[in-house]
Amino acid sequence: MCVRLLEDPEPSVRKALLHSRHLAPSFLASLVRHHDPAARRAALRVWDELSTEVRATLLDDPDPEVRRSAALCACPHDARVTAALLRDPAAALPEVLRGGLLDRTDAEQFLTEGVHLVELAANPSLPADLVDCLAGDPDDEVRLAVSLRPELTEARRAAIDVTVGPYDRGDVDWVAAGLADQDVLHRAAASAHPLLRRAAARSPHLPPELLRLLADDADVVVRNHLAVHHPDTPEEVLMSVYARLGGTFSAWMRPVTPASPARDSPPASRTIRTGNTECWRSATPLPAPI
């Protein structure tokens, strides 16, 4: 069926198919030599499952967008590819700087020029001394990006002067990539940094002890995320979130469970909002969760 849809004469049908999140990895991998460049780009979604030879073919694809997209997939583990992308005027520079394997000379150049420092601060391959330099940057967003790096100890993280607002999202790449990794979840859930705890609270794979820890968290956004994402969120947390958010905590925002007060709630399309107005600063961390 997918093969037939991919050859459909209507472009919108082909586009909808290639953007589907439900395509089997084996089908995506079969597209690496398809005549349509859009299909070959879709195959990049299973980059880690492709052979070395197939990856090399995509890196040398006749279509420049396919080549560039393949290079973005390869750059986290290839300094040569990263360097080439940094010199490509059509490349997505912030994305390359955030995830590519950086040569020190290139990292120092961007640091000296003072551009794209937020992305640079999040790069996993950034040398430790340059991380320390960015930890004292005058831009709060740069310091915040440094404070979320996975290799930092809690003491080092708390020493960075950052402010986290009451509605700031917990978008942390290494936690989002490890929502089923128990080590990642323990490190994030037990952190004093609220963005790490907010990120961990989005995991449906929290073990019971971490679920209890985050259920008692002083940060209301943490409890909001638990209520939306975890099927075993304690009833008292569900009720407190429902009481605070009312109709915005709708039935479609979480799976219905026996403990969920959303069972009898009408669907709504408004965004979750909280009444919390306090900001967290690293100099005065939130009380430790019980």
In angstroms, rounded to a whole number, what is the distance separating the alpha carbons of residues 147 and 236? 32
Please give the residue that has the higher pLDDT: either 71 or 247: 71
Q: Are 82 and 91 in contact (CB under 8 A)?
A: no
SS3 67: helix
Which is it for strands 163-164 and 280-281: parallel, antiparallel or unpaired?
Answer: antiparallel
Q: Two tokens at 53?
A: 């030879």
pLDDT band at 282 (very low <50, low <70, confident <90, very high): low
In angstroms, rounded to a whole number, what is the distance separating the alpha carbons of residues 227 and 242? 9
**Quick one: which H or E segment has residue 198?**
helix 194-200
pLDDT per residue over 176-204, tens digit each?
Answer: 999 999 999 999 999 999 999 999 999 99
Is it the case that residue 245 has pLDDT exceeding 90? no
Q: What is the pLDDT of residue 275?
A: 36
Residue 126 Ramachandran class (φ > 0 left, ψ -120 to 50 alpha, else beta): beta
Is it the case that residue 112 has pLDDT exceeding 80? yes
In angstroms, rounded to a whole number, what is the distance separating the alpha carbons of residues 263 and 212? 23
> What is 78-131 written as a DSSP string?
-HHHHHHHHT-TTS-HHHHHHHS---HHHHHHHHHHT-SHHHHHH-TT--HHHH
pLDDT band at 86 (very low <50, low <70, confident <90, very high): very high
Q: What is the pLDDT of residue 256?
A: 42
Q: What is the pLDDT of residue 241?
A: 86
In angstroms, rounded to a whole number, what is the distance separating the alpha carbons of residues 122 and 150? 9
Q: What is the pLDDT of residue 289?
A: 36
**Quick one: which H or E segment has residue 11?**
helix 11-18
Q: What is the pLDDT of residue 187?
A: 97
Q: What is the pLDDT of residue 253?
A: 52
Is it the case that residue 287 has pLDDT exceeding 60? no
Helices (H), 201-279: 208-215, 220-229, 235-245
- Mean of pLDDT values over 109-129: 96
Please classify residue 252 by burial: count the beta carbons closer than 10 Å to its beta carbon, then call 0-12 exposed, 13-18 middle and 19+ buried.
exposed
In angstroms, rounded to a whole number, what is the distance separating the alpha carbons of residues 282 and 193? 8
pLDDT per residue over 128-173, tens digit each?
Answer: 999 999 999 999 999 999 999 999 999 999 999 999 998 887 689 9
Is it the case that residue 257 has pLDDT exceeding 80? no
- Mean of pLDDT values over 32-44: 96
Q: What is the pLDDT of residue 3?
A: 87
pLDDT band at 259 (very low <50, low <70, confident <90, very high): very low
In angstroms, rounded to a whole number, what is the distance separating the alpha carbons of residues 173 and 213? 22
In angstroms, rounded to a whole number, what is the distance separating the alpha carbons of residues 66 and 41? 6
Please give the residue that has the higher pLDDT: either 66 or 253: 66
Task: For the chain, give the mean pLDDT.
Answer: 87
pLDDT band at 98 (very low <50, low <70, confident <90, very high): very high
In angstroms, rounded to a whole number, what is the distance separating the alpha carbons of residues 81 and 229? 37
Q: Two tokens at 58?
A: 């995509």
Q: What is the pLDDT of residue 169?
A: 79
CB atoms within 10 A of CB 276: 15
Is it the case that residue 284 has pLDDT exceeding 80? no
- Mean of pLDDT values over 88-110: 96
- Mean of pLDDT values over 111-118: 96
Q: Two tokens at 165?
A: 């607002």
SS (H, E, C) 10-53: CHHHHHHHHCCCCCCHHHHHHHHHCCCHHHHHHHHHHHHHCCHH
- Describe the chain by its helix, strand, coil percentages, rounded to 5: 60, 0, 40
Q: Two tokens at 70?
A: 């393949």
Candidate from 31-40, 77-86, 89-98, 247-256 with smallest mean pLDDT: 247-256
